[in-house]
Structure 1
Amino acid sequence: MTRNDKTTIQDIAKRLNTTAATVSRALNDHPRISKATKEAVKKMAFELNYQPNNIASALRSGKSKLIGVIVPTANRAFFSTVVRGIEEVAIQHNYRVIISQSYDDPKKEEETIDALFSARVDGIIASTGKKTLVFDHYRKVIEKGIPLILFDRGNPELKVSQVLIDDYQGAYQAVKHLIEQGCKRIAHFTSVNKISIYKDRLRGYTDALRDAGIDIQEELIIESDLQLEDGRICMEQLLALKQRPDAVFSSSDYGAMGAMQVLKENEINIPEEVALVGFSNEPFTSYTDPPLSSVDQTSISMGRITAKAFFDQLNADKSDFTPQKTILSPQLIIRGSSQKK
């Protein structure tokens, strides 16, 4: 056998002078195979660098023990922590996850789903991209009878289980806090208004202002991609107004961080002159100067609950399964960027 040849079950069986069926059962920990045989088979498999053919195994058993997880980007603490929560539960069920990034690109999202089909995953867990406006590729998942669970960025059009944060309540709490600090001219950084989480955060912002008797001013609501550079541009736009805001509630910590940089460069005191609150409670928010107030999304719990929703569906009677929607409560973490002395 050359180094490029792939070891098969038959190769192991030949070395041990036994049958391929016995080797297969031993590798799958079959109760009728003796402990000594299992140990001998596993030792030989290791020596021959045997790699199981997961696709062939999936065809035989009907299960690959794989879950496809699609996130917009893996380098955000929120998404990586959600994935950690998913993995914790998956491992308990002897499942592994395949993590893919869409980069908020609908085409990449579609290609990823096709690749996960090819890998014969038992289900897909996804947070939809900001730019995804047509959901036919997700409908394909449903039509194939593969469990599909959405988290964070849900979609009311898709009749699937979803695990979301109460974005409306998180935004309402943030703006209410700013109002309680004496702020009256509060700006808002939002993003694509067709994405439900940003619509809900905008609604929480406007309702909090209305309930406090404060007029909503369109010039203070700015849409962007909510990256750090966007936060800088948005803050510069606000400072160019005849009357600048006395607070900013950003739908992203990165947008709030960009605003903080511009305020400091212009020697504008935070929070006395302009208070700031972000959204997501990214790890860096504790280390900014001043530390950034933010809405925590309970990401680890979201991951665990999302994985549980997947296994609930996987083990349910398909004819009797009803998708479940879980709404988690956010928590406002108040720090120096908004807490006035």
Structure 2
Amino acid sequence: MMADKATIHDIARELKIAASTVSRALNGSPRISQQTKDSVLSVAKQLNYQPHKLAAALRNGRSNIIGIIVPTADRNFFGSIVRGVEEVAMNANYQVIICQTYENPAKEAAAVEALINSRVDGIITSFSKNTVNFDHFLKAKRQGIPVISFDRTNDDLDISKVLIDDFKGAYKATEHLIQQGCKRIGHFTSFQNVSIYKERRRGYLAALEHYSLPLVNELIVESNMQLEDGRRSMQKLLDERISVDGVFSSSDLGAMGALQVLKEHGIRVPDEVAIVGFSNDPFTLFSDPPISSVDQHCLRMGNIACEIFLDEVKLNGQAEFSPRKVVLMPELIVRGSSLRTSS
């Protein structure tokens, strides 16, 4: 017999008792004597018995596993969200499974299906930028699996949501650039079907309007908001000789790309062009100059998403759970890329 294949039937044969007795002993049933429990645990350890978690989930309707779906796990923002979820989940005796979509709706749908088949107790997710059909999440919800979205959400879905006030974050970032003397502020953004980018653009426009600065459409550049996109967006403005003295990027990677191109062209940051990013990724501290950014409180966002899940699962279907929407307030972190000491 292979040690890693041991079952409750092997333990039962060793002790010459019924498999049902072994099962009850392993689950701490008060109907089983302490002496029998000790014997079962001792033999289970000798045989390297590992409980079949999926089978247990099928029996008791609870797997104590949470599925987390993110676009990519190698971004600090999403990594911090996972850490925030795990902090709360582990204290509540839950484990997590992490799935990546790489911004692909088909991979996202496949991940949801895999998590449903794994009998997860809940799904915490940030939608792919390209997702327009959310039927896979509705399927999970119909099967009694709580779905909580964070950061990238959809108002048409009747699920709980945790996000920051992207509008206010963008407004603060743009206002700061204006207060530093910027009058022609470029805005690097992404697909407007994604709520966060739509709200950040709205905050940028509101700040311009409040301070009576004209909207210049050619200053708004849309891309995927990765490092190379930030470089291309900044280069586009320079190549087309579009006058710009400030940049508000909807991602820190875009801001870093802009900073690189400006330095390569000998354009002084922040004196000639000031820059603010979004997310407060750790690398923003170590650029030259350090990049100002909007902090999204991602660790807390992950904590709250898991707390909402625990609140919903506690009801155990006995009462209807009213979806919650938690909006965190962003914080502008001012650093050398935007602070003009002479202004």
Band of TM-score, shorter chain: over 0.9
Provide the residue aligned with 2:339 in structure 1: 339
Shift, 1:149, TM fit: 0.6
Provide the residue aligned with 1:289 in structure 2: 288
Secondary structure of the residue aligned to 1:327 is strand
Query: What aligned pairs does 1:320-331 form with structure 2 within 5 A after superposition?
Result: 320-331=320-331
Provide the residue aligned with 2:151 in structure 1: 152
Shift, 1:49, TM fit: 2.3
Secondary structure of the residue aligned to 1:320 is coil
Secondary structure of the residue aligned to 2:90 is helix
- Inter-partner Cα distance in structure 2 for 1:146 and 1:262: 47
Query: What aligned pairs does 1:263-278 form with structure 2 within 5 A after superposition?
Result: 263-278=262-277
Provide the residue aligned with 1:70 in structure 2: 69
Residue 323 of structure 1 aligns with an amino acid whose one-letter code is P
Deviations 1:239-263 (A, max 9, x none): 1233421011101000111111111
Mark the CA change 1:333 to 1:23 in structure 2 (over 3 Å): closer, same or farther.
Answer: same
CA contact (8 A) 2:249 2:277 kept: yes
Query: What aligned pairs does 1:1-20 form with structure 2 within 5 A after superposition?
Result: 1-2=1-2, 6-20=5-19
Provide the residue aligned with 2:131 in structure 1: 132
Q: Which moved more, 1:235-244 or 1:269-278?
A: 235-244
Mark the CA change 1:290 to 1:31 in structure 2 (over 3 Å): closer, same or farther.
Answer: farther
- Inter-partner Cα distance in structure 2 for 1:273 and 1:209: 19
Provide the residue aligned with 1:205 in structure 2: 204
Mark the CA change 1:39 to 1:296 in structure 2 (over 3 Å): closer, same or farther.
Answer: farther
Provide the residue aligned with 1:226 in structure 2: 225
Shift, 1:35, TM fit: 5.1
Query: What aligned pairs does 1:176-255 form with structure 2 within 5 A after superposition?
Result: 176-255=175-254
Q: Which moved more, 1:289-298 or 1:134-143?
A: 134-143
- Inter-partner Cα distance in structure 2 for 1:195 and 1:337: 27
Provide the residue aligned with 1:79 in structure 2: 78
Equivalent residue pairs, number: 340
| Runs of at least 5 residues in structure 2 that lack an aligned partner in the other structure | none
CA contact (8 A) 2:105 2:130 kept: yes
Deviations 1:167-188 (A, max 9, x none): 0000000000000100010000
Residue 334 of structure 1 aligns with an amino acid whose one-letter code is V
Deviations 1:217-269 (A, max 9, x none): 11010110000010100010011233421011101000111111111111111
Secondary structure of the residue aligned to 1:206 is helix
Provide the residue aligned with 1:53 in structure 2: 52
Residue 322 of structure 1 aligns with an amino acid whose one-letter code is S
Shift, 1:321, TM fit: 1.8
- Inter-partner Cα distance in structure 1 for 2:44 and 2:286: 49
Deviations 1:106-154 (A, max 9, x none): 0000000110111011111110000101111111112222111111111
- Inter-partner Cα distance in structure 2 for 1:36 and 1:231: 67
Shift, 1:283, TM fit: 0.8
- Inter-partner Cα distance in structure 1 for 2:320 and 2:14: 49
Mark the CA change 1:31 to 1:244 in structure 2 (over 3 Å): closer, same or farther.
Answer: farther
- Inter-partner Cα distance in structure 2 for 1:36 and 1:334: 64
What's the C-alpha RMSD, in Å, of the aligned pairs? Answer: 1.5
Identity of aligned residues (%): 55
Secondary structure of the residue aligned to 1:23 is helix
Secondary structure of the residue aligned to 1:326 is strand
- Inter-partner Cα distance in structure 2 for 1:111 and 1:241: 43
- Inter-partner Cα distance in structure 2 for 1:331 and 1:151: 18
Q: Which moved more, 1:317-326 or 1:174-183?
A: 317-326
- Inter-partner Cα distance in structure 2 for 1:51 and 1:181: 62
Secondary structure of the residue aligned to 1:63 is coil
Secondary structure of the residue aligned to 1:315 is helix
| Runs of at least 5 residues in structure 1 that lack an aligned partner in the other structure | none
- Inter-partner Cα distance in structure 1 for 2:37 and 2:283: 49
Shift, 1:47, TM fit: 2.8
Shift, 1:309, TM fit: 0.6
Shift, 1:34, TM fit: 5.1
Shift, 1:36, TM fit: 5.2
- TM-score, normalised on structure 1? 0.96
Residue 340 of structure 2 aligns with an amino acid whose one-letter code is K
Shift, 1:25, TM fit: 2.8
Provide the residue aligned with 1:105 in structure 2: 104
CA contact (8 A) 2:275 2:338 kept: yes
